[in-house]
């Protein structure tokens, strides 16, 4: 899809430039900060997406917010995105950047869905175990979804290991239906 292409191009450009200017780690931290800020502050997202707010005003807000705490490159990049009227895609550009960064550093993104929250110690144990199994660094995203009832569901780069109770129950349901139809 064209939209995804756009986000990848902006993210790749930022990544390449940061690498060239030897400030990749700092820009990475900035991107994490921007992502968190956007996710935690709905008003910021609304402002960025609002087409009636002029780009100049949006730029002023961004500079006021991130001007001091972020790298010059990051702030300039944000300004460029606003000038080009692509601020609506800011979050997904950040996601793409993080994806490229993790790929470059051989960090695998692992999404773990559980029915209940777990303590930090157990979380670290899981992370360690996955690092050993996958033989690479991992970026673990833990999500809680009570609908899976129990067990866990692990997604690693387009592959899913669904060991949830919900999946097992749905298999049993299907089997019952097949048997009922055959009777």
Q: Which residues bind another protein (CB under 8 A)?
A: 1, 4-5, 8, 155, 158-163, 167-168, 171-172, 175-176, 179, 181-182
CB of 18 to another protein, least distance (A): 23
Choice between 69 and 172, CB closer to another protein = 172
SS3 122: helix
CB of 163 to another protein, least distance (A): 5
Token pair belonging to 88 = 């609506």
CB of 37 to another protein, least distance (A): 22
Choice between 29 and 111, CB closer to another protein = 111
SS3 81: helix
Which helix (DSSP H) or strand (DSSP E) does residue 114 occupy? strand 107-114
CB 98 within 8 A of CB 35: yes
Choice between 54 and 129, CB closer to another protein = 129
Give residues with Cβ within 8 angstroms of 172, minimum separation 6.
none
């Amino acid at each position: 899809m064209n939209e995804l292409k756009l986000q990848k191009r902006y993210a790749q450009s930022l990544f390449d430039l940061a690498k060239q200017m030897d400030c990749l780690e700092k820009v990475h931290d900035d991107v994490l900060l921007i992502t968190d800020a956007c996710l935690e502050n709905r008003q910021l997202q609304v402002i960025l997406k609002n087409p009636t707010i002029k780009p100049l005003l949006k730029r002023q807000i961004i500079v006021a917010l991130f001007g001091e705490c972020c790298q010059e490159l990051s702030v300039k990049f944000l300004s460029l995105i606003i000038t080009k009227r692509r601020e609506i895609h800011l979050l997904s550009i950040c996601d793409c950047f993080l994806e490229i960064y993790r790929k470059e550093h051989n960090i695998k993104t692992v999404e773990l869905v559980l029915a209940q929250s777990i303590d930090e110690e157990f979380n670290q144990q899981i992370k360690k175990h996955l690092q050993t199994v996958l033989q690479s660094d991992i970026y673990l995203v833990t999500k809680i979804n009570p609908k899976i009832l129990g067990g866990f569901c692990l997604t690693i780069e387009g592959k899913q290991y669904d060991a949830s109770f919900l999946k097992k129950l749905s298999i049993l349901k299907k089997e019952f239906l097949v048997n009922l139809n055959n009777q």
